[in-house]
Amino acid sequence: MDTIERLINTDDLKTSRLIRNLEREQGKFMYYDPVSDILLLTIVPPTTESVVHYLDDHVALLYEPESLEVVGFQVEAFEHSFMPEHETLRAVWRLSDANVTLENIGDLIMVFERKKQIVAQELKNITRNLLSGSSRRLIPA
């Protein structure tokens, strides 16, 4: 990725709110756009204004411009480039690997909610590794 001039330093971003929500497994919105191959995972509604802060070629943190609170993750080239590099994510992403019989929409919703939690945890772990060169960590304040 070409060098991007960041609006703020990664160390200035706040992660307490994100960590609280991920640990409580609440308030997560997940959206995948197959046309643009972008996965969004946020703790705020998708209509909330946020700024994209890239950590590498694929992963970005989404933060609120006023508070500098990180409110989610954005992963570009998700299925094409990112997922092949992360086996644990690949296994979770495939519905065929859910090992359940989907008889109705309720079954699908339950599988989705479980898998959404695992995807969130995997993205948190991957992002933690990307931040290892920064003083910022994805741990509770």
Q: Does 26 map to a domain?
A: yes
Q: Does 84 map to a domain?
A: yes
**Structural domain that includes position 64:** 12-133
Q: Does 81 map to a domain?
A: yes
Q: Quick: pLDDT tens for 54-63.
A: 988 889 999 9
User: Would the pLDDT of 138 be above 90?
Assistant: no
Cα separation, 81 vs 58, in Å, equals 8
Q: Please tell me the total count of domains within the chain.
A: 1
Q: Quick: pLDDT tens for 17-50.
A: 887 887 776 567 889 999 999 999 999 998 899 9
Q: Does 5 map to a domain?
A: no
User: Would the pLDDT of 108 be above 50?
Assistant: yes
Share the mean pLDDT of the chain: 81
Residue 134: phi, psi to the nearest 5? -105, 160
Half-sphere exposure of 47 (CA within 13 A, CB side): 0
The answer to which of 19-23, 38-42, 87-91, 136-140 has the lowest mean pLDDT is 136-140
By percentage, how much of the chain surpasses pLDDT 90?
29
At 140, the pLDDT band (50, 70, 90 cuts) reads: very low
Cα separation, 119 vs 92, in Å, equals 7
Q: Does 7 map to a domain?
A: no
Q: Does 128 map to a domain?
A: yes
Q: In what order do the strands lie in the sheet with 51-54?
A: 29-33, 38-42, 70-76, 59-63, 51-54
What are the C-alpha distances in Å from 111 to residues 1, 10, 44, 102? 35, 34, 22, 9
What are the C-alpha distances in Å from 2 to residues 52, 54, 62, 69, 75? 15, 11, 19, 25, 17
Residue 97 has a pLDDT of: 64
